[in-house]
Structure 1
Amino acid sequence: MKINRDMVTRAGLKLLNEIGLEQLTLRRLGVELNVQAATIYWHFKSKEELLDEMATTVLTEGAANLLPRRKSSNWRVWASRYGEGLRRTLMAYRDGARMVSGTRLTTTDPLKTTETIGAQLAASGFSVRAAVVLLSTIYNYTLSFVMEEQAVFPTPGERSPFYSIEARNARLDPAIFPYHRQASSILFDRYDRRYKEGLELILKGMELKL
């Protein structure tokens, strides 16, 4: 079978959902596509190069998630949508945040969306530095948040046994760790709520700065 770079990338994303980032290798991908490993290496010299392409594809195709559904002049709407849309995009794939973290874009396509958001922030009175600080802070917060979230729930709705709240609390003496016992359900459950609370802290901080 003759394959191209896009086919390998799509197969990589499919395999990522099935076996996770650690098990994803170019040789395993060759088996998935029923081709020799050398064929995969002709398109991608390393796993890192493949991840760059996979991440770029995910961010490009998830770009629509980052923009408000309705036009708004309120910068908070744009900033909130950017964060929540990025989280949704990363959550669409198993280990999505870890896969994207540290990669380099192979095209400028994903930048078109942040260019639009940056222009809107500028129209709202933001300097370039203020806009960059805001968006990069939201990006870093979202990426690290989703990494932790996907460690607890490798697949949506399925909690890893390593993150059982009951088992965690059973190891914590209530006389010594009353705070940590109460924190367990906040740290390891209801991620939608906690993400929004953290994002709100960022937005309120920017409001004070402005």
Structure 2
Amino acid sequence: MRHHRDDVVRHAIVVLDTYGLADLTMRRLASELDVRPSALYHHFRDKQSLLAAVADELLRRGARPLAAQAWDEQVVELCSGLRDALLAYRDGAELVSTVIAFGLGASQPYDDLVTALAPARLGEELASTAARTLLHFVLGHTLDEQTHLQAGSAGAIGDDPRPRSDFGAGLGLVVDGIRLRSSRGVDARA
């Protein structure tokens, strides 16, 4: 049976969600698809390009239209939506973080944040830094949440699930800082 690129990505997401990122290998994926591993290289030059496609698909699936009008409210919506998209799949935060760190893809969240921040008139350099800071906060916080949940589920730690997340409060602190810079104007870089 011949599989299309989209089929391979969909199956890779199932493998990711079932076994985790460490076990998302070309060999396992090929076995799940009932093909030889070499057949996957017809669609992806290496495992990293497969992971990039999987990360982009997870982000695409999690995307939702913005309801907010104000730039700071859009930023909160984007960051919350990204967190939800990452939490929807096992090791989602680790996968997307890795793909971004390697410069292989998953650039949509950054691009969306830069666009949302434009009305804040931070200037290109500071808007870029603000978008990266927001992205790092979301990825780091979500990675911590997923790792804690998975470790608890596997019995690796004795902690109970955390009663509630402080994601919103932390995000609010970051957005407050950006809002402060925005009120100072474009030339306030200190």
Q: Do these two structures clear the TM 0.5 threshold for a shared fold by scoring above it?
A: yes
8 Å CA contact retained: 1:95, 1:154: no
Alignment of 1:1-210 (within 5 A): 1-64=1-64, 67-68=65-66, 70-72=67-69, 74-103=70-99, 104-105=104-105, 110=108, 114-115=111-112, 117-154=113-150, 159-165=153-159, 189-192=162-165, 194-210=166-182
Structure 1 residue runs without a partner (length 5+): 167-187
Q: How far did 1:191 drift? A: 4.7
8 Å CA contact retained: 1:151, 1:160: no
Q: How far did 1:102 drift? A: 2.6
Report the RMSD for the aligned CA atoms in angstroms: 2.4
In 2, the alpha carbon distance for the partners of 1:12 and 1:197 equals 34
Q: Aligned residue pairs: how many? A: 178
In 2, the alpha carbon distance for the partners of 1:52 and 1:126 equals 30
What SS class does the counterpart of residue 51 from structure 1 fall into? helix
In 2, the alpha carbon distance for the partners of 1:123 and 1:76 equals 9
Q: Which amino acid letter does the alignment assign opposite residue 157 of structure 2?
A: Y
Question: Over residues 38-79 of structure 1, what are the superposed CA-to-partner deviations in whole Å (9 max), with x where a residue is unaligned?
Answer: 212322232212101111112223232xx53x241x222011
In 1, the alpha carbon distance for the partners of 2:52 and 2:171 equals 27
Question: Over residues 100-125 of structure 1, what are the superposed CA-to-partner deviations in whole Å (9 max), with x where a residue is unaligned?
Answer: 1131128x7x37x835x534432343
- In structure 1, the residue matched to 2:185 is none
Q: Which amino acid letter does the alignment assign opposite residue 14 of structure 1?
A: V
Q: How far did 1:80 drift? A: 0.7
What SS class does the counterpart of residue 133 from structure 1 fall into? helix
In 1, the alpha carbon distance for the partners of 2:17 and 2:116 equals 35
Structure 2 residue runs without a partner (length 5+): 183-190
When normalised by structure 2's length, the TM-score is 0.82
8 Å CA contact retained: 1:80, 1:199: yes
8 Å CA contact retained: 1:20, 1:95: yes
In 2, the alpha carbon distance for the partners of 1:119 and 1:140 equals 17
In 2, the alpha carbon distance for the partners of 1:191 and 1:87 equals 15
